[in-house]
Chain A
Amino acid sequence: MRLDLHLFRIGGRRFAFAPVTDSLAVLDEPGWETLSAAAAGDSPDEIRSLVARRHGPEVAARCLDELADLVTAHGLDRPDPLAGEPVPGAPDPGADWLPSSPESPVLKSLCLNVAHDCDLRCRYCFAGQGRFGATRGLMTPEVARAAVDFLLDNSGGAPTCEIDFFGGEPLLNLGVVRETVDYARRRAAEADRRVGFTLTTNAVALGPDERTYLDETMDNVVLSLDGRPEVHDRMRPTAAGRSSQAAVLENIKGFVELREARAKRAEGNPACDYWVRGTYTAANLDFAEDAIYLARQGLRNLSLEPVVGGPVGSGGWGLGSGHLPGLAAEYVRLADFILDEFTAGRPLRFFHFVTEPEAGPCYAKRVRGCGAGREYMAVTPNGDLYPCHQFVGREGFRLGNVTRGPAAPDGSDPAAPAGSALGRRVGGLWLGAKPACRSCWARYRCSGGCHANGHGVTGSLLEPDPLGCSLLKMRTEVSLYLQARQTL
């Protein structure tokens, strides 16, 4: 029997990861040889003979006992529903895992781009520096209300829905944010339901009043800060071309102080819901230093993500495959810093290293992925619908508009995007629909990756971005390394 295992080494240590059960084991040299042979499909007798040749019969026998224990304890012989190729003409097995059909999606959340404008001019901005390639504009209260109605009317009566305020910069339209929150709460309460709120901000306009409002209202807040002053200011100047890091850092620290105080007061002391999120580029390949800098500023929930796109080489800030070895070492350096902080009683959360072995997402969630175009959509200031915030403004991906009226005489409903061929195509995306992903060892951690990134790089919704794949696998290995070191 061939075991589905991914074996890797980091820092002189050896690890085995089983994708189907999300299991992790640490190995020594005989253990490595044993599991390598098991992954190659060798029989127990073949494994015994192989290991005994180098390490003796007692070690070989023990390795086989421990292998049997691992298989039993972690269910390594559990069948993988994705094994094998899909049968042409047969019903799509993905239908069993999707919570709703692509023809009739049941929304869970909406991203409201309340502002297609921004008070920064970030050089790497995927949103065209806030305006997504179109005219700068703000969402009106009428469009926002229509979006709330659209969400609540198309969410299948689910007890909880979510609205994410995004942009551009949502604090440029805080008045509409406030009105939308009030309206959504009112409408939800009428139906005995609840709407949760999150907001992503560059924190430039995050003054004391804004901090208080966000702390009292938002379930989660994402605050953008790249790290060290020279790193942040290189890529995130203000609209007037000035530095923004110092003011942004001060505002974020003020907000985090409120949030941490709230968490301490709350019964049961729940996790403090904020993330300080930065972007690293080829201009700061030593990004672990930025994470360390942010941690020493007292910011303990961090995310640093690789830039998407951009010029590669000759001083460009875009990332290419040549950067991968150095980035791998940098992730390990960051993991070792987090481990030191953990040991010193100063826990630090780095988003991509946070895994919940006992409380992670279920198999169904891992198989169906992010839900873009099905459970999650984005709305522009004029009410246009897109599969997600990354698709906004992309030619050919507009799904409809939340402000349109009832169904047209021909039966088509412009306010119901699912009926379109595009809606079915995007809404039907799941892990198994991506051929290269079906057999990848990281498939149940990645879930097929970002559809928008893949399409942007390859031109196909079914093919992942190769660089993104490499980075994700690298990060996943390091997160497993960190998990093992924190556990043992």
Chain B
Amino acid sequence: MTLDHSRRDQALGIEPGPRHIIPVSGGRLAPDRDLAKCRDCQVSCQSACKTSCTVGNQRCPK
């Protein structure tokens, strides 16, 4: 797997070269109590499964 992080690394002051730790995704999830009262998303069991629902597979409609 490769991903060109050269510009990012340059901006961060990291020496050019192949990376050893390649960020793929993430960082968006954050504890936010303001969202506790929002109920826009589906209840899990209505998505697909009925027997082994996983909340993590759901999509936020917002």
Contact = CB atoms under 8 A, between A and B. Distances in A.
B4 to A, nearest CB: 10
A22 B26 contact: yes
B27 A98 contact: no
Interface residues of B, number: 50
A472 B49 CA distance: 13
Contacts of B58: 356, 360-361, 365
Contact of A360 (B1, B29, B51): B29
| Chain A contact surface mostly | mixed
A369 interface: yes
Interface of A: 13, 16, 18, 20-28, 30-31, 34-35, 58-59, 61-63, 65-67, 69-70, 73-75, 78, 80-81, 96-99, 106, 108-109, 111, 126, 158, 160, 162, 164, 166, 198, 200, 220, 222, 275, 277, 279, 303, 305-306, 308, 351-352, 354-366, 368-372, 375-376, 388-390, 444-447, 450, 453, 468, 471-472, 475-476, 483-485, 487-488
A220 B49 CA distance: 12
23 contacts: A24-B23, A25-B21, A31-B19, A66-B14, A69-B23, A73-B23, A200-B50, A308-B51, A352-B54, A352-B57, A354-B57, A355-B57, A359-B60, A362-B32, A364-B32, A365-B35, A370-B53, A375-B39, A389-B45, A445-B56, A446-B55, A446-B56, A468-B52
Interface of B: 1-3, 8, 12-15, 17, 19-33, 35-60
Given A23-B25, A98-B36, A99-B37, A447 B51 contact: no
A476 B56 contact: yes
Given A370-B45, A472-B52, A65 B59 contact: no
A194 B57 CA distance: 24
